[in-house]
Amino acid sequence: MNGNGSTRREFLTLVGTSTAVLVVAGCTTNQTAAPPVPSGGVFAQPAESHSVDGRLAVTLVAEATMVPLGTGTRYAYTYNGSTPGPTLRVRPGDTVVVTLQNRLDTDTNLHTHGLHVSPTGGSDDVFVMVRPGGEHTYTYDIPADHPSGLFWYHPHAHGHVAEQIAAGLAGAIVISDDLDDITEITASTERLFILADPSIGDSKAILATSQMGRMQGREGDIVVVNGIVQPTVAVVAGTLERWRILNSSASRYYRLALDNHQLHVIASDGGRLTAPVTVSEILLAPGERTEVLVTPIAAGSNRLRALRYDRGSSGMGGGMGGRASTSTAETVIATVNVTGTAAAAALPPSLAKLSPISPTITATRTVTLAMGGGGGMGGGSMMAFTIDGKSFVPGRTDITARLGTTEQWSIRNTSVMDHPFHLHVWPFQIIDGPPTSGWKDTVNVPARSTVTIRVTFTDLPGRTVYHCHILDHEDLGMMGIIDVTP
Ligand code: C2O
Ligand code: CU
Ligand code: CU
């Protein structure tokens, strides 16, 4: 699956960096000589921890571990010995206490992506660092009116985020509420698909990434679902399948389609929809989630595929023409084996009431994502990754917003690559961009285009970040700080 070599070279030529870097770039994907890739494991889900009487307390130990890969093993970073880490299952109103122990040799910490919880006071504070050998206890109070859905946890130690997530540090948080009590949903089979694309090898050498790999956003050697290569999912015709899907990759996009079946979307990121929306494919950028119902009908083997997607763009560099970067080849993610011949199960006619976002806008902003010419970052030919012309500085506040207001942001991408824009703590709705009526926390902003969102700062004041969820871009500075003040 090392098909990136030629596209990396093209990108390199187009950005006009030296051929000396080309050699380095060419080495990274090939150096960790990929062992033969096993496929066709049986679908399995991560271990789970449930809250009891409104409380869940867990310890997550981050460390390097050899994890199973087919009949062999591969090097990874794990929580409690596995990647993905345990799924945390909770309900609105619960208190979740996580003690993070750092047994890595670099700083790490924890972020609860998509949770509407406080960014301060020992809660989802990404400015806390946990040193090697250290530990920290986070306490998250999940509001009683928190939406249900799929969220996730992962490290957020600036400069190490792409490496640590790509190495395997990620896990799911599932919040359940009365949506789960709808008759059709209760009768469905719920499955979690955590998509990742690790580099494979038997040592820490797999973490090494060239400047070019970081500028493009690193992609690994294989695609796994819950750590398993091309698992087989056994389903029965006439039943309803409910799949929660997370893109936990550092950079890779997944354009998902299932042979012979439509996908009925019931939630986007943290936002349930009012009724199922039927589509034939779904694009999931890094950090995004979707929840779909599937009605198995076509007996036999159906591939769940990631179709080809190009997150770069053609024509970069004026008249140079050609493709600039990062197109992923079509990949089989899983095989869905349908038995039986019953007709499709019925879908729930409606799901939930979606509270509309306030129509009163107190401020409008333009947030500009850009990739600048070389020389700006880290010397050499590394280009600058900026938001509003600035690379991330921990002490600086870039946006100040007032608690209780609603703002409209036009997120403008002036570069030749897509950037998935993510805001912590306060969910938003898309006014102009990828069509979805649900609440979002991450949205893809395609190359040379603008997406408009509306975000409401109802509660939970504090200081946190917004950034590109191609995590190498975040580590390279495409991140800013927002302070929401009473
Ligand atoms: Cu998924 Cu700032 O995070
Ligand atoms: Cu986040
Ligand atoms: Cu980016």
422 CB near ligand 1 (under 6 Å):
yes
147 CB near ligand 1 (under 6 Å):
no
480 CB near ligand 1 (under 6 Å):
no
For residue 36, the model assigns a pLDDT of 54
Q: What is the pLDDT along the chain (486 residues), one digit of tens a residue?
A: 333 333 333 333 333 333 223 223 333 333 344 455 566 789 999 999 999 999 999 999 999 999 999 889 999 999 999 999 999 999 999 999 999 999 999 999 999 999 999 999 999 999 999 999 999 999 999 999 999 999 999 999 999 999 999 999 999 999 999 888 899 999 999 999 999 999 999 999 999 999 989 999 999 999 999 999 999 999 999 999 999 999 999 999 999 999 999 999 999 998 889 999 999 999 999 999 999 999 999 899 999 999 999 998 433 333 333 333 467 789 999 999 999 999 999 999 888 777 778 888 999 999 999 998 654 444 456 789 999 999 999 999 999 999 999 999 999 999 999 999 999 999 999 999 988 778 999 999 999 999 999 999 999 999 999 999 999 999 999 999 999 999
The reply to whether 374 falls in a domain is yes
Taking CA atoms only, the protein residue closest to ligand 1 atom 3 is 113
The CA distances from residue 4 to 219, 233, 252, 320, in Å, are 9, 29, 12, 20
Q: Strand, coil or helix: what is 369?
A: strand
Sheet holding 383-387, edge to edge: 383-387, 363-374, 406-413, 449-456, 428-432
Residues whose CB falls within 8 Å of the CB of residue 19, separated by 6 or more in sequence, listed in order:
none
Q: At 20, which helix (H) or strand (E)?
A: helix 19-31
Nearest bound ligand to CA 413?
3
Nearest bound ligand to CA 369?
3
261 CB near ligand 1 (under 6 Å):
no
The reply to whether 460 falls in a domain is yes
Q: What is the CATH number of the domain that holds 437?
A: 2.60.40.420
463 CB near ligand 1 (under 6 Å):
no
Count of H helices and E strands in the chain? 6, 35
The reply to whether 379 falls in a domain is yes
The reply to whether 104 falls in a domain is no
| CA–CA gap between residue 19 and residue 238 (Å, rounded) | 57
The reply to whether 78 falls in a domain is no
The reply to whether 377 falls in a domain is yes
289 CB near ligand 1 (under 6 Å):
no
Distance (Å) from CA 442 to ligand 1 centroid = 9
Do the Cβ atoms of 335 and 40 come closer than 8 Å? Answer: yes
Looking from the CA of residue 479, the nearest atom of ligand 1 is 2
Structural domain boundaries enclosing 379? 363-485
For residue 438, the model assigns a pLDDT of 86
For residue 39, the model assigns a pLDDT of 65
| CA–CA gap between residue 314 and residue 307 (Å, rounded) | 18
Give one DSSP letter per residue of 39-90, joined into a string: --PBP----EEE-BTTEEEEEEEEEEEEEEETTEEEEEEEETTBSS-PEEEE
DSSP assigned state of 181:
G
Q: Is 391 exposed, middle or buried (0-12, 13-18, 19+ CB in 10 A)?
A: middle
Distance (Å) from CA 425 to ligand 1 centroid = 10
For residue 62, the model assigns a pLDDT of 98
| CA–CA gap between residue 414 and residue 370 (Å, rounded) | 5
For residue 363, the model assigns a pLDDT of 94
116 CB near ligand 1 (under 6 Å):
no
Do the Cβ atoms of 379 and 427 come closer than 8 Å? Answer: no
Distance (Å) from CA 471 to ligand 1 centroid = 8
Do the Cβ atoms of 14 and 316 come closer than 8 Å? Answer: yes
For residue 323, the model assigns a pLDDT of 35
Among candidates 140, 127, 130, 122, which has minimal Cα distance to 169? 130
Nearest bound ligand to CA 311?
3
Give the β-pairing of 313-314 and 462-468.
Answer: unpaired
Distance (Å) from CA 221 to ligand 3 centroid = 20
Per the structure, how many domains does the chain have?
1
For residue 456, the model assigns a pLDDT of 94
| CA–CA gap between residue 248 and residue 161 (Å, rounded) | 12
Q: Is the dihedral of CA 338, 340, 342, 345 positive or negative?
A: negative
Nearest bound ligand to CA 415?
3
User: 92's torsion region: left (phi>0), alpha (psi -120 to 50) or beta?
Assistant: beta
Among candidates 430, 425, 466, which has minimal Cα distance to 446? 430
Distance (Å) from CA 216 to ligand 3 centroid = 8
Residue 259 is encoded by which pair of tokens?
A: 């042979």
155 CB near ligand 1 (under 6 Å):
no
Looking from the CA of residue 424, the nearest atom of ligand 1 is 2
The reply to whether 370 falls in a domain is yes
Give the β-pairing of 87-90 and 48-50.
Answer: parallel
| CA–CA gap between residue 254 and residue 333 (Å, rounded) | 9
424 CB near ligand 1 (under 6 Å):
yes
b or e along 36-72 (b: 16 or more beta carbons within 10 Å of the residue's beta carbon)? eeeeebebebbeebebeeeebebebbbbbbebebeee
Rg of the chain over Cα atoms, rounded to whole angstroms, equals 21
Distance (Å) from CA 286 to ligand 1 centroid = 10
The reply to whether 266 falls in a domain is no
